[in-house]
Structure 1
Amino acid sequence: MKRAIEFYSEGFKLCGDVYVPDGLAAGETRSAVLLCHGYTGVKDLYLPDNARVLNEAGYVVMTFDYKGWGDSEGVSPNRLVPYSRVADVQAAMTYLGLQPEVNEDSIGIYGTSYGGATVSWVGAVDERAKCIVSVVGIGHGARWMSRVRRMDEWFDLLDRSKADREQRALTGKSEMV
């Protein structure tokens, strides 16, 4: 059974789905898995297939969209803010742990691509994550960023990032880099 859910992270409403396996007895709890999409993904893109397989294995599963992605609220649509994504995963873990079907002491987090990097970070700072799975995760951000661009684009990004850091320090203003 799939149910649409809403929860909050840093004051913004995030949208998601909770998948509950068939055959749960009244009052029974199960281990849960939080599925986290990558940089340009959304919860409805490929995570429902993963949720179905995990449901068949007996897990309660939750998917969601980060701030500014999919149907979730956010300041800047489709903007990647690493610290904010960590906060979103932690808020999602809290929400998932409050579900009546979930054993809050048995929650795993699973991320693909940039979501893999995010769950690795969350796993390092939040002891509630009992299992962390990073699939094609990003382990070295600068190396990854340089490899998904032409060399001239990479050096331009480095120059713009440096100029933006300096501008923020001097004026408090930032450009979208």
Structure 2
Amino acid sequence: FYSEGDQISGIIRLPDGSSSEPWPGIVQGPGWLGLKDAKLYLPYHEALTAAGYLVLIFDYRGFGESEGDRGVILPQLQLEDLTNAVTYLTTREDVDADNIGVFGSGGTGGGNAILLAASDDRIRVAVSQVPVADGEDWLRRMRREYEWQEFLDRLENDRRERVVTGTGEMVHPREEIMVPTPERRATN
């Protein structure tokens, strides 16, 4: 499907068996820096398809195999992608357009599921697992107080640079936004 002109890469997982009736649909956007083919989502998708749900999971714009600007992580753009994914499901003959839900897991995936459910009347059910509800609090809890102050100073310096030059600093999200612990580095 397309989201705001960019082609989005997704995976459709069909329920087991066949049916003459359309299936209820579930849309999922991955969690923080996740991709559609992450193995950790498979057990959830297997359970959902076994229960008779069609599942659509996709890479947000700029991630994985989807088109779009690389390195841009903005919840409002991810919400647009989720909304467009729901619209895409409503065009499919094998989906019951009156029975669409959202599943989100992990940080922004869980938070985005809540945002979609709150903003799109077509969503009939929402499951949010391990959501980030307050991004500032989430980022702050990863840091010691002096690291938090350094992070805020860096953000302010970047903000000032962008208004003067029109460009900002590009950072690695796992190394510079998230605190790079050995555990996080092991999951890259």
Pick the aligned partner of 2:64 from 70, 76, 101.
70
CA separation in 1, counterparts of 2:87 and 2:109? 18
After TM superposition, the structure 1 stretch with the greater mean CA deviation from structure 2, 137-146 or 35-44, is 35-44
Compared CA separation, residues 109 and 154, structure 1 to 2 (3 A): same
Q: Any runs of at least 4 consecutive aligned residues in structure 1 with deviations exceeding 6 A, and if so which?
A: none
Letter in 1 for 2:6: F
Equivalent residue number for residue 126 of structure 2: 132
Q: Identify the residue that residue 99 of structure 2 maps to in structure 1.
A: 106
Structure 2 residue 34 is matched with structure 1 residue 30: no
Runs of 5+ unmatched residues, structure 2: 172-188
**TM-score by structure 1 length?**
0.85
**Deviation at 1:108?**
0.5
Matched length: 169
Counterpart residue number, 1:92: 85
> Which residue matches 2:55?
61
Deviates more, 1:46-55 or 1:146-155: 146-155
Deviations 1:18-73 (A, max 9, x none): 111133334x1121111221112111112232111100001111111111222112
Tell me what 1:14 maps to.
8
Rounded to whole Å, the distance in 1 between the matches of 2:170 and 2:94 is 41
Q: Distance in 1 between matches of 2:114 and 2:149?
A: 28
What is the TM-score when the length of structure 2 is the normalising length? 0.81
CA contact (8 A) 2:28 2:82 kept: no
Q: Which amino acid aligns with 2:26?
A: V
Contact in 1 for aligned 2:27/2:103 (Cα 8 Å): yes
Backbone CA RMSD of aligned residues: 1.9
Residue 115 of structure 1: SS of its match in structure 2?
helix
Q: Is the 8 A contact 1:39 1:80 kept in 2?
A: no
Letter in 1 for 2:19: A
Residue of structure 2 in register with 1:144 after alignment: 138
Structure 1, unmatched stretches of 5+, are 1-6
Q: Which amino acid aligns with 1:92?
A: A
Q: How far apart in 2 are the matches of 1:105 and 1:174?
A: 43
Secondary structure of the equivalent of 1:136?
strand
What residue identity is the alignment partner of 1:96?
Answer: L
Shift of residue 163, structure 1, vs aligned partner: 3.3
